[in-house]
Structure formats: C-alpha cells, structure tokens
Structure 1
Amino acid sequence: MTAHTQLHWTENGEARSALWRMDAGAVMPKTVVLADDRLTADSAYRLACAGTGLLWRSDFQNARQLLQAMARRIDQPKKTCAKKASGDAAQAPVPGAAFHAHRLAQSQRNRVLSAILIELDGDYGTALRRAPDVRQACVQAFGSAQGEASVISLRSLQGAVGAFEWRKNGVEVPGMGEALRIYPHYGVFSPVRGEYVDLVAHAPLPEALKAQSVAFDVGVGTGVLSAVLARRGVAQVVGSDLSERAVACARDNLQRLGLQNQVDLVQTHLFPPGRAALVVCNPPWLPARPVGLLDQAVYDEGSQMLKGFLAGLRDHLCEGGEGWLILSDLAEHLGLRNREALLRWMAEAGLVVLGRLDAKPVHAKAQDSTDPLHAARSAEVTSLWRLGAAG
C-alpha cells in the first residue's frame, strides 16, 4: 500500500485531501473532479481515458451502473484496419507479442475503470446513498483505518468486498479425494486452478521421507499445498513466503483444518533454513512484471523466483530428497520462455529430472475461443517436475 500518499482535490471552493488507498502499482490520478448522477457514461469514459479521477458524490448503486456502462464501452469490438504484407515487407512474428498486447489492453482497461473514486471516512464508512456497509471488508483488507479518511477506486472497493466474501465462505479445492475448504485472504491468490493441487495430492512421495519426514512448501500462499502434504502423512511441513499476508492466510487455513501442529510457517524469501526430503514450489507461471498484489502470484519478472528455487534447491535437499516444481508451460506457448531454457537452468543448478506428471487445465478460459490468448491456453499443460541432485 502507498500508505502516506495523499490525493488532493477542490470541493466547495476549499482544498481537500485524503489518503490514497490503493494496491502497489495503481496510478493516482493527477486531476480529480466531482461526479454525480448527472454525469453521462460517455463523458465519464472520456474523462477517465484522459486520466481524470471521478470522485463520486451521489447514489452508490448508480456509481456501480456507471462503472458497468464504462466497461461496455471499453469491451465493445474495435474496428481494425488490416495492412497487407508481402515479400520483404512481411515481418516475422514477435515472441510474446499477443501476450504483451493483451496485458497492455488489460492495463489500460484497469486504469480507465479505476477512475470512479469513493471517499471513506475514518472507520471505512461512506455517506453515499444506498451504499453497503463495507467496514468489515475494508478492515480485513487494509487493517484499521485509524480515524483517517481515505479515497479508493470503486473497483478496488468491490475487490475488497469480494475478498471478504471469499474469506467468509471459502472455496473447495480437490485434495486426497476429499475437498479442502480454503479461505483466501485479500491479496492472496485463491487456489482456483485445482489441477496443480491434484498433482501434489497424487505424485509418488520420495523414499527419503521414510527416514526424514520433513517437507518444505516454498511460496506457501493460502497453505493449500502444505495441507495436502500434511494429510498425505508428512510429519513436519515448513511453509515459507515473503508475503506477510500469505503467512497470515496460511496460518488461518491450517488452524481451520486442524493441521497447525503439523505445519510451521516462516516469513522469508524462498527456502526456510535446513534440508528436507521433499521441497515443493509452485512459483508464478509467467515471466512478466507484476503491478498489484494478486499479480505477484501470476507474474514472476525475469523468472526470478523460478531461477532462485532451482539454484538453491540442491542445497536444501537431504540425501535422496526430491524437489517438486509445479509449473505450467503457458509461458512457452506465449513465446515468453522456451523449454530449452528451463532445462538448462535445471542442469546449471546441478539437478536432474527424475520424472514428470502432467495435467490439462479445466478452467473456463481454456475452453473460451473468444479469449485473445485462447490458442496458448488451449494447448497449456501443467506439470509437476520431480527433481533430484545430480550425481
């Protein structure tokens, strides 16, 4: 959070300011105007495209409807002018071009739709007509307001409310033939891609666990993989994560599942201290720059976490131990990384591939032919790479 950044505007001839409450990476508007029910969707869209923030001063539900109308304007099909290329004028495809164009479009979309702003008072309340009570959701997402007024985009506020519902109701993911109910916290990625959990639930456990029943879960997130390993009989699991939110989320989930005595949690970068018979890591799958909290679970700029895991794995395996790398090949289909580079990093780290288990994704985007990245998503395979120390 940019905890000490103030947003400034003028209202009734007076200078006003409040805390800018947004995730890291969000762009604070340089210009803010007051907006109400008289503002048309076309005018709101033009102002938002120009980078102007719209501080809402009218009915809350009408702000939601305005946001939906702006989204329709962004998402309507664009007219394109096709250029015919031939001979020397034809250009070779740029690796990752479709992905980068998609991310740019999504970034622009998010910026425009984040233009509608809501002011919250010192306890996260709002005076807008027909506004829901968002105080509990905001406390869970951002901590105590400490009596300070703040401004947040309507979209981010909706995200906090959605995360509150996820945390209250939980989500079921497959594990050992019995669903695990996991409760994601705000800013911690929900384990909605069940195929990777299923791979960990059914991969053959290394023989070394019989002599030293210790496993590391690097990048613990919600704690779902730690829970699966504990339920598979691993006596001691140590989950690590650099994110304070993730460690708190994992602790909550493991307590709910009654596994808190079987799993220790450490806030650290990559590996906890010591060695283990099994080290599991599910790093972000796409080598691109994250711009928000949830992005950090999807994007790994320069494949830094992936490379760091591979480079340090050998030094954290006990004799006969295995490292399980859970990784989608979506980056390969998008032209962002190639299989040769992945295998080279493994070899340079003194690792050998002991085996691999594959699973096809079952999420909706893999079947959506209208998705801009459908060709890559439909070919995607998620793999559990069983790695050992080279002799």
Structure 2
Amino acid sequence: MNETIHWTEHGRNMHAIWHSDSRHPAPSHIQTISQINTEQALRLMRQNTALLWRGDYHQGKQLLAAIKKRVHSKARTHTDFHKHRLQQAQHSRLFQQLLIEIQPDGLLKNNRAPNIAAALNDVFGSPNQHTLLLPLHLLLGYIGAHEWHKAGVAIPALNGKKIHIPYGVFSPVRGEYLELVAQAKLPSPCHTAWDIGTGSGVLAAILAQRGIPHITATDNSTRAIACAQANIQRLKLNEQIHIQHINLFPTGRTDLIICNPPWLPAKPSSDIETALYDPEHQMLQTFLTQAKNHLTPHGQVWLIMSDIAEHLGLRPKEALPKWISTAGLKLIHKTDIQPQHPKARQQHHPLAYARNREITSLWQLAAK
C-alpha cells in the first residue's frame, strides 16, 4: 500500500510516502515522539494515533519489543482458527502504529541507526527516491529477510546447494516435501515439466537435477520471478529451466505438472501471505480443473498438499479427492510424510492440536 500521508511537526507541514505490505489502512493521525513508556505508547496506539519514532534507533526497537511482549502476554488463547487469525490481524494493525521515517537512498536520521540501503534495495529492487514512512516492525522484517537472503537455505534434495530467498517470496524451509519430489517415480518418458507457482524456483531445480531436460516455471508474482531467475542462474540451470511471468499454465502440453499451492483456505492479510492462504481454495480448484487439458497422454500431475486445513476444520477430508475426481483426474500414488519443521513440535501454540497431526502428501495424478 503506497500513498502520501501528511502530519504536522514543530509547526511544519510534513509529508512522506506511506508504505506497508499489510492491507490495513494508512494512519490518519501521527504524533512524533523520541521518548515514551510502553503504557503511554499503547494507549495512544489503541486510540489510532500512530507514533513516528524520532529517538535512538535501538531504543525504538526496545519499545517495539516491549509493546509486543505486553500485548501477547495479555492476549487470549484462541484454538479456533478464525478467531486466532482475527487476533493476529488486530495485533498486526496495532504494531503497525509505531513508525520510522526513511530518507531517500535508505538513510535513517535516528541516532545509532544502521545502514539499511541494501535491505531496502532487496525489497524494492532499486534505491528509494522518496521519503518513506513505514512500520518499524516491517523495517526489521526487511532487515532480517535481507540477512536470510544473503545466507541462503541449504537444500538437501539439491545435494546441499543453496536457494536464496528475498523478502516477499515463500521460503522452502519445509524440506520434507522437497524430498518427496526428489524421490517420486517420474512418468515415462518425461522430457518436459511445468512448475506452476514456482516461487523460489526450488522445485524446478530439483526436477532439473533429476534429468528432465525442458522445464517451464511460472509465477504471477514479480518478486518470485526475479527470485527464481536469480536462483536458476546461480545453480547454472538456465539451459534446462525457462521462467515465465504468467498465471498458472503455459500453452501446450507437458509430461509432468507440479504445483505446491497455498494450503489454507483463508484470506491473506498481506502480500507475503498469498503463498500460504488461498480463499476458498480458488487457486487449487482452478489448477485442478485446467491441469488435465495440459497433459500429454502419459502425463502426470504432482500436487503437494498438507492436510492441516482438515485438522483445523477448514476443509472436509473428502473434499480434495472429490475435486480431483471432478477435474477428470485419478490417483496413481500418494506418498505421505510428517513435517519436520520446529513449529510441528510446538506444544504451546494455540493451533498445536492441528500442527501435531499434520501430514504432507505428494499426490501423483493422471487423467482418467
């Protein structure tokens, strides 16, 4: 969300470009501060007054951390998914009320502020030319993502080679489903493959490593396309993998179509959540409905899905098999694996009852 917002500071009329990745509205009332305690800050923020932090950068971080700790300590625990999501959105909107001003070329005027130009360039693709206002917690997310991007994620299914993921692109930390793709039996012959919603490009890279000579990876996200292109080039797989900035399918037919769609049927509250949430499974059902028309006679569809939506009561257990059948597809083989990520083992998370029972599956499908 980008718009010009105005405020008054020391009798002067000020303005800057408001930037936030969330879908909450821009603040309408801004108060500049350089010192305030947690209770005073929370009282103003709950009255819809955004606080523009002019004090020491690290003290601003400490204030934000204290605000989050206070809010979370008093929050009710909701085991209902929708109530949990609503509470998350309310907290997000509240935390968005502590702002920081960024000068052109990524400069911060706050005392002891770091150089954030590289982190912002990672997000925006070029140095910012305007004064920006954005939530401090979002800026900290940008900085953390930049360090994560530089370090990369080692992928065992790629023999330990790294995938580098910038802010705004889904990270392949769920290594268990990558292993399913690396080990599943390919259709025969398998000269071509499509990776639909490629994101970081990791699934396309695994298929290329398995020897498929012609792979097309698609995505409708500009950030994802740039990320996938960089990873494919870094892995020297340009000859095998061609990337297209389109929604869902290229034209023609292929031997293998692979897709790891969003697993939860809920509305995203920010752009980055579109990789996780698919309202009413619209993308999934569209993918299944159209996939059969793009297969060669011996072709297969590989669908990567978690059953967590079923444990959360968001999708009946029989829904996915029914959608597959209605789309003119049949199940050839299904391989299940338990998630290995740390969140699956957390016992105190409100949704632990679902996460602890979650199974990730590779559905290998063919035309009826």
Aligned position for 2:244: 266
- CA separation in 1, counterparts of 2:8 and 2:336? 57
Aligned position for 2:20: 22
- CA separation in 1, counterparts of 2:156 and 2:272? 22
Q: Is the 8 A contact 2:117 2:127 kept in 1?
A: no
**Which of 256, 260, 263 in structure 1 is aligned with 2:234?**
256
Bigger shift: 62-71 or 343-352? 343-352
Aligned position for 1:47: 44
Q: Is the 8 A contact 2:16 2:133 kept in 1?
A: yes
Aligned position for 1:204: 185
Aligned position for 2:82: 100
Give unmatched runs, 5+ long, in structure 2: none
- Tell me the SS of whatever aligns to 1:254: helix
- CA separation in 1, counterparts of 2:295 and 2:79? 38
Aligned position for 1:35: 33
Q: Is the 8 A contact 2:106 2:128 kept in 1?
A: no
- Tell me the SS of whatever aligns to 1:338: coil
Q: 1:1-391 to 2 correspondence within 5 Å?
A: 2-3=1-2, 5-37=3-35, 39-78=36-75, 98-175=80-157, 178-209=159-190, 213-390=191-368
Count of residue correspondences: 368
Aligned position for 1:93: none
- Tell me the SS of whatever aligns to 2:55: coil
Could you give the per-residue CA deviations for residues 291-342 of structure 1, whole angstroms, max 9, x where no partner exists? 2122011001111110011001101110111000000000000011112111
Q: TM-score, normalised by structure 2?
A: 0.97
Q: Is the 8 A contact 1:353 1:386 kept in 2?
A: yes
Aligned position for 1:87: none
- Tell me the SS of whatever aligns to 2:194: strand
- CA separation in 2, counterparts of 1:132 and 1:241? 34
Cα distance, 1:180–1:27 mapped onto 2, change above 3 Å: farther
- CA separation in 2, counterparts of 1:115 and 1:78? 18
- CA separation in 2, counterparts of 1:373 and 1:143? 36
Could you give the per-residue CA deviations for residues 125-179 of structure 1, whole angstroms, max 9, x where no partner exists? 0111000100111012123345311111111111111121121111112215x22
Q: Which consecutive aligned stretches of 4+ in structure 1 deviate over 2 angstroms post-superposition?
A: 77-80, 143-147
Superposition deviation, residue 113 in structure 1: 1.5
Q: Which amino acid aligns with 1:50?
A: Q
- CA separation in 1, counterparts of 2:224 and 2:12? 42
- Tell me the SS of whatever aligns to 1:187: coil
Q: Which amino acid aligns with 2:118?
A: Q
- CA separation in 2, counterparts of 1:118 and 1:208? 56
Q: Is the 8 A contact 1:188 1:293 kept in 2?
A: no
- CA separation in 2, counterparts of 1:338 and 1:179? 37
- CA separation in 1, counterparts of 2:320 and 2:300? 17
- CA separation in 2, counterparts of 1:169 and 1:322? 35
Q: Is the 8 A contact 1:208 1:319 kept in 2?
A: no
- CA separation in 2, counterparts of 1:218 and 1:77? 42
- Tell me the SS of whatever aligns to 1:370: coil
Superposition deviation, residue 207 in structure 1: 1.3
- CA separation in 1, counterparts of 2:43 and 2:237? 52
Cα distance, 1:149–1:79 mapped onto 2, change above 3 Å: closer
Q: Is the 8 A contact 2:89 2:269 kept in 1?
A: no
Superposition deviation, residue 27 in structure 1: 2.8
Q: Is the 8 A contact 2:253 2:296 kept in 1?
A: yes
Q: Which amino acid aligns with 2:6?
A: H
- CA separation in 2, counterparts of 1:98 and 1:160? 30
- Tell me the SS of whatever aligns to 1:326: strand
Superposition deviation, residue 78 in structure 1: 4.7
Aligned position for 1:83: none
- CA separation in 2, counterparts of 1:324 and 1:101? 33
Q: TM-score, normalised by structure 1?
A: 0.91
- CA separation in 2, counterparts of 1:79 and 1:132? 36
Q: Is the 8 A contact 2:52 2:99 kept in 1?
A: yes
Superposition deviation, residue 208 in structure 1: 3.1
- CA separation in 2, counterparts of 1:122 and 1:380? 46
Could you give the per-residue CA deviations for residues 42-100 of structure 1, whole angstroms, max 9, x where no partner exists? 111122222221101110000000001001101115579xxxxxxxxxxxxxxx97111
Q: Is the 8 A contact 1:277 1:322 kept in 2?
A: yes
- CA separation in 1, counterparts of 2:74 and 2:38? 18
Identity %: 43
- CA separation in 1, counterparts of 2:181 and 2:199? 15
- CA separation in 2, counterparts of 1:342 and 1:175? 27
Superposition deviation, residue 122 in structure 1: 1.4
- CA separation in 2, counterparts of 1:297 and 1:52? 31
- CA separation in 2, counterparts of 1:144 and 1:237? 30
Q: Is the 8 A contact 2:79 2:350 kept in 1?
A: no
